Amino acid sequence: MSSILSDAVIDQLFRTARTQNGWTSEPVTDAQLKALYDIYKMGPTSGNCQPARVIFVRSAEGKARLLPAMSPGNQEKTKAAPVTAIIGYDLEFYEHLPRLFPHNPAMKDNFAGPGKEGAAQAAAFRNGSLQGAYLMIAARAIGLDVGAMSGFDAAKVDAEFWAGTKVKTNFICNIGHGDPAKVMGRLPRFDFDEINKIV
Amino acid sequence: MSSILSDAVIDQLFRTARTQNGWTSEPVTDAQLKALYDIYKMGPTSGNCQPARVIFVRSAEGKARLLPAMSPGNQEKTKAAPVTAIIGYDLEFYEHLPRLFPHNPAMKDNFAGPGKEGAAQAAAFRNGSLQGAYLMIAARAIGLDVGAMSGFDAAKVDAEFWAGTKVKTNFICNIGHGDPAKVMGRLPRFDFDEINKIV
């Protein structure tokens, strides 16, 4: 039986958690990244397709490859972040479905082959985005902060990091311990009734 | 300072939480749906764009409109679920950016007008999917179970529920208290090194 989690937990995951723009020097270890993956991999995807692919950029060499593709306003914080996750989605995710969804081998046929490219793109992008959200929430669950970014040249990132694959960059997310002094003011949210209905 | 959340919390959100296929008769109240929204609305979206729009289908009349659009395998569980959330994304989300992202009125220009349809579609689908993931994790945080589905006729759902808007259905998710007897066996996940790198 699930319980209602404490306010402190929900604050840490959603309510007081904030997108970070500055970072302390405290590192993020391999063990933390693997612990992070072991949590977010459990989030649901349709047909268990798991299309997200992630490159965690931590070295100075890796950052030097990435920074020229970031928008000017995102370069300094990306350089300062202990880790920058390039979150991609694999357009050929369906090749793994016979293993990931073994009770229904026909699942692959929904996405493989001529005329199925649109279905594969939509499933990869939708489920890869769900997994990106799971990654951010899981990072907060293990005491890390995140700062997601859409301001980058996707074609450049794809060429530099995903060459020779069918993976496309979805979004990029700094991970570490945030500097509270660089957090922006909280922006407004819609009221429930403006955008939702109960019917 | 964030802490590492307890194993029990992470289990409830990710590790022992399971996609549900059967439901008890315990209802989901308006207050629970509004509490759910007040949590997941705080999850980050790019430019604070918040493109997700949700119709929570709870009445018999609402279910009767939805069920013919569900795949045969999803009809019985959708009928039994206390609430079924139709999670859509608004292709005209950018109309709200001057209010949601007031310090940068030019943000709207990235998505509004001729030639920007692809950018608007990608941002709406990516961020609407992130918000769908936040919804599922937030539901688990308040002691509810979820069961997301991609098996439905999106054109039929769009026509029935989003007519006269620019909202498109993303995915559909049952919400309530799951029947543990109807949970499937856990499916495999990739190992870290198969799909991720640290560089």
The per-residue pLDDT for A2 is 83
Please report residues of A whose CB lies closer than 8 A to that of B122: 125
| pLDDT band at residue A1 under the 50/70/90 scheme | low
The per-residue pLDDT for B145 is 98
Region B189-198 average pLDDT: 98
Please report residues of A whose CB lies closer than 8 A to that of B57: 199
| pLDDT band at residue B179 under the 50/70/90 scheme | very high
Does residue A196 or residue B1 have the better pLDDT? A196
The per-residue pLDDT for B2 is 83
| pLDDT band at residue A36 under the 50/70/90 scheme | very high
The per-residue pLDDT for B62 is 98
Mutation target for A interface from B86, B104, B192: give the one with most A CBs within 10 A: B192
Q: Do A4 and B100 touch (CB under 8 A)?
A: no
Q: Do A129 and B134 touch (CB under 8 A)?
A: no
Please report residues of A whose CB lies closer than 8 A to that of B168: none
**Percentage of chain B exceeding pLDDT 90:** 98
The token duo for B106 is: 């030019």
| pLDDT band at residue A165 under the 50/70/90 scheme | very high
Burial of B166 (0-12, 13-18, 19+ CB in 10 A): middle
Q: Report the residue from B53, B150, B189 with minimal CB separation from A46.
A: B150
ipTM: 0.98
**Alpha carbons A47 and A100: distance in angstroms, whole number:** 8
By C-alpha distance, the chain A residue nearest B18 is: A44
Alpha-carbon distance A143 to nearest alpha carbon in chain B (angstroms):
5
The per-residue pLDDT for A4 is 96
Q: Are B198 and A58 in contact (CB under 8 A)?
A: yes
The per-residue pLDDT for B91 is 98
Long-range contacts of B26-33 (CB under 8 A, 24+ apart): B26/B82, B26/B176, B26/B177, B27/B82, B27/B176, B28/B58, B28/B82, B28/B83, B28/B144, B28/B175, B28/B176, B30/A198, B32/B142, B32/B144, B33/A192, B33/A196, B33/A198, B33/B83
Instruction: Tell me the pLDDT tens digit for each residue of A2-32.
Output: 899 999 999 999 999 999 999 999 999 999 9
Q: Do B134 and A14 touch (CB under 8 A)?
A: yes
The token duo for B54 is: 């949700």
By C-alpha distance, the chain B residue nearest A167 is: B195
Instruction: Tell me the pLDDT tens digit for each residue of A179-191.
Output: 999 999 999 999 9
**Alpha carbons B196 and A57: distance in angstroms, whole number:** 11
The per-residue pLDDT for B147 is 98
**Alpha carbons A42 and A37: distance in angstroms, whole number:** 9
Region B70-91 average pLDDT: 98
On the question of pLDDT at A62 being above 90, the answer is: yes
Q: For all residues of chain B together, what is the average pLDDT?
A: 97
Neighbours of B160 (CB within 10 A): 17
Instruction: Tell me the pLDDT tens digit for each residue of B100-117.
Output: 999 998 999 999 999 999
Burial of A64 (0-12, 13-18, 19+ CB in 10 A): exposed
Q: Do A14 and B144 touch (CB under 8 A)?
A: no
The token duo for A106 is: 């026909």
Please report residues of A whose CB lies closer than 8 A to that of B88: none
Burial of A92 (0-12, 13-18, 19+ CB in 10 A): middle
**Percentage of chain B exceeding pLDDT 70:** 99
Please report residues of A whose CB lies closer than 8 A to that of B191: none
Region B174-184 average pLDDT: 97
By C-alpha distance, the chain B residue nearest A151 is: B46
Alpha-carbon distance A115 to nearest alpha carbon in chain B (angstroms):
18
The per-residue pLDDT for A145 is 98
Q: Do A199 and B61 touch (CB under 8 A)?
A: yes
Alpha-carbon distance B156 to nearest alpha carbon in chain A (angstroms):
17
Q: Do A37 and B133 touch (CB under 8 A)?
A: no
| pLDDT band at residue B1 under the 50/70/90 scheme | low
By C-alpha distance, the chain A residue nearest B56 is: A198
Instruction: Tell me the pLDDT tens digit for each residue of A63-96.
Output: 999 999 999 999 999 999 999 999 999 999 999 9
| pLDDT band at residue B119 under the 50/70/90 scheme | very high
Please report residues of A whose CB lies closer than 8 A to that of B127: 129
Size of interface A-B (CB pairs under 8 A): 218
Instruction: Tell me the pLDDT tens digit for each residue of B138-164.
Output: 999 999 999 999 999 999 999 999 999
